[in-house]
Amino acid sequence: MADLSYLTAVRDSYDTVAASYFEQVKPPQELDPLTRGMLNVFAETVRTDGLGPVADVGCGPGKVTAYLAERRVPAFGIDLSPAMVALARSAYPELRFDVGSMTSLPLADGELGGILAFYSTHHTPPELLPTVFAEFHRTLAPGACLMLSGHVGTGQHLRPTQAYGGHPVSWESYLLPPEQLAGLLRQAGLVLTARLVEEPAEGSERTYATFLARKPQQR
């Protein structure tokens, strides 16, 4: 059985930083044009497909979920942190937000018309990413789209002790090469349709990548 003990550290840490995170993290409207552009492509794709509701997995305080909803996407959020979900429900009471883990989504097979995983998988140990991506495949309807965005690197394993204003955290992060992530998505049965790798901005060392993929149609 997979060791999911890391989820406790992730949940407790995000519960601790939730209020500061909500204040400090920019809404999508204030992000760079490339990131907004990819979110808009995803929103248009899932809206046009019309295959079912769209889950923002690891939604945090719901800012990106709300951004999708403003673009007429039937989006709802799922997050491991009850404190994050409480903030999201308070800020966007018209939207649905559930507590849950991407390792075992509380959703039926083929229920979703799309999944957005926006900077939400990098705390997952690499050996458990196949479990997460298998859940994405399981819950997507045939033909439905996944957008995965996040930090990438050369295999770094980060263990910060503070975040978002100095709050103590015990989560860990894993910055994998883009090609490794692409390979894991393919191994989960998803078909890559696009990828974007953004080089570090001036004064930053962080590289970001976005992948678009689809679950194949049933034959």
Which pTM does this prediction carry? 0.95
Helix, strand or coil for residue 213?
A: strand
pLDDT at 203 over 70: no
Mean pLDDT, residues 115-139: 98
Residue 95's pLDDT is what? 98
* Of 35-39, 50-54, 204-208, minimum mean pLDDT range: 204-208
Place of tokens 């995965």: 148
CATH superfamily of 6-214: Vaccinia Virus protein VP39 (3.40.50.150)
Order of strands across the sheet that contains 191-198: 97-99, 75-79, 54-57, 112-118, 140-152, 207-214, 191-198
- Is the distance from CB of 171 to CB of 188 less than 8 angstroms? no
Residues 6+ apart with CB under 8 A from 106: 78, 98, 100
Each residue of 16-34: pLDDT tens digit? 999 999 999 999 999 989 9
Q: Which neighbouring-strand residues pair with 146?
A: 115, 213
Radius of gyration of the chain (CA): 16
3-state secondary structure 163-212: ECCCEECCCCEEECCHHHHHHHHHHCCCEEEEEEEECCCCCCCCEEEEEE
Residue 204's pLDDT is what? 67
CA distance 14 to 118: 15
CA distance 116 to 95: 16
Each residue of 163-187: pLDDT tens digit? 999 999 999 999 999 999 999 999 9
Residue 183's pLDDT is what? 98
Mean pLDDT, residues 59-77: 98
pLDDT at 127 over 60: yes
Sign of CA pseudo-dihedral 182, 183, 186, 187:
negative
Q: What is the percent of the chain where pLDDT is above 70?
A: 97
